[in-house]
């Protein structure tokens, strides 16, 4: 199997797979690159088939919010791929030679993985037997307290042959195929084609604004807002803002502001609201988004 690219060597733009209007990244290196270089965290959604109800330690693919996918496309860091069409066209038009080569690589990778697992199992078995005293290291006559004279007086004329160490018998490993995390290879890197931009909610201007200021953005549903804004990687920092996006002329209830301010202050964050001025949208040199933060005094 072809080795993946080294971390940090992802070439931009990298593909984002669109599957039933969900935006997914399957390449581990692309996930690392998006997080370290573009402040994109997403949510890991992969699970183990026989533990489908687990809700911790999930794996790839990484699902992006539409806002995250769009900001990457607008920055020129990624492009959208219609995953279903790419797979249908790629596998239907794959020639026999390429298909056999890929199957051979998969078979070889499976053999190597099985042999490594068998070797580790044998080492664990041997170590367990040694701890129980069932298998001892070979001793020399000197270490056993015997000399050549005492050895000659042994009841047995011929030296005894030590029993072979206990170990698992060599068993044939049947070849089996594993499912790779990406389709490249065997398919070639998908080309950049004209794909519609991800459809984003009305609070996207606030997301884009905070993201441009270096914040990491995560869903804020558990705090009753649109986004939780982190000053750095969420693995290292607590969020600073509970951000809610609004339209420029949208009317809102003061009780909403009071509730958001009290909740944000209670959890040691500031409640933030913001919107985009249509008159300044797209005007070069002018920031079209304005934000306000609210904290509750005396708490």
Choose among 251, 272, 252: nearest CA to 263: 272
* Residue from 215, 227, 269, 271 carrying the catalytic annotation: 269
How far is the C-alpha of 159 from the C-alpha of 147, rounded, in Å? 14
* Residue from 215, 230, 240, 271 carrying the catalytic annotation: 230
Choose among 260, 270, 262, 206: nearest CA to 238: 270
CA distances from 245 to 112, 204, 270 (A): 52, 8, 14
Please count the other Cβ atoms lying within 10 Å of the Cβ belonging to residue 155: 4
240 is annotated as an active-site residue: no
* Residue from 136, 238, 281, 286 carrying the catalytic annotation: 238
In the chain, DSSP assigns E strands to: 14-19, 22-25, 43-46, 59-64, 78-82, 216-219, 227-230, 241-245, 270-276, 289-294
269 is annotated as an active-site residue: yes
Rounded to the nearest 10°, the torsion over CA 261, 267, 268, 274 is: -40
CA distances from 251 to 201, 225, 246, 256, 274 (A): 18, 17, 9, 11, 13
The answer to whether 265 touches 294, Cβ cutoff 8 Å, is no
The answer to whether 190 touches 81, Cβ cutoff 8 Å, is yes
The answer to whether 43 touches 63, Cβ cutoff 8 Å, is yes
Q: Which residues are catalytic?
A: 230, 238, 269
């Amino acid at each position: 199997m072809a080795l993946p690219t080294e971390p940090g060597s992802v070439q931009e733009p990298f593909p984002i797979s669109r599957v039933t209007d969900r935006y997914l990244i399957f390449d581990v290196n692309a996930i690392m690159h998006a997080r370290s270089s573009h402040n994109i965290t997403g949510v890991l959604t992969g699970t183990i088939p026989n533990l489908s109800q687990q809700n911790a330690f999930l794996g790839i693919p990484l699902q992006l919010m539409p806002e995250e996918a769009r900001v990457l496309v607008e920055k020129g860091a990624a492009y959208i791929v219609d995953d279903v069409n790419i797979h249908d066209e790629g596998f239907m038009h794959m020639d026999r030679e390429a298909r056999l080569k890929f199957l051979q690589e998969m078979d070889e990778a499976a053999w190597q993985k099985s042999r490594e697992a068998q070797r580790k199992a044998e080492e664990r078995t041997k170590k367990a037997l040694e701890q129980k005293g069932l298998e001892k290291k070979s001793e020399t006559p000197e270490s056993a307290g015997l000399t050549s004279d005492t050895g000659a007086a042994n009841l047995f004329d011929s030296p005894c042959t030590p029993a072979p160490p206990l170990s698992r018998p060599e068993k044939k490993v049947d070849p089996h195929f594993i499912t790779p995390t990406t389709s490249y290879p065997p398919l070639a890197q998908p080309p950049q084609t004209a794909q519609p931009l991800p459809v984003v909610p009305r609070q996207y201007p606030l997301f884009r604004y905070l993201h441009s200021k270096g914040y990491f953005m995560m869903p804020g549903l558990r705090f009753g807002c649109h986004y939780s804004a982190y000053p750095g990687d969420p693995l290292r920092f607590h969020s600073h803002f509970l951000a809610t996006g609004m339209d420029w002329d949208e009317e809102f209830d003061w009780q909403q502001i009071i509730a958001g301010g009290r909740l944000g202050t209670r959890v040691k964050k500031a409640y933030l609201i913001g919107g985009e001025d249509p008159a300044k949208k797209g005007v070069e040199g002018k920031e079209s988004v304005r934000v306000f933060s609210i904290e509750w005094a005396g708490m």
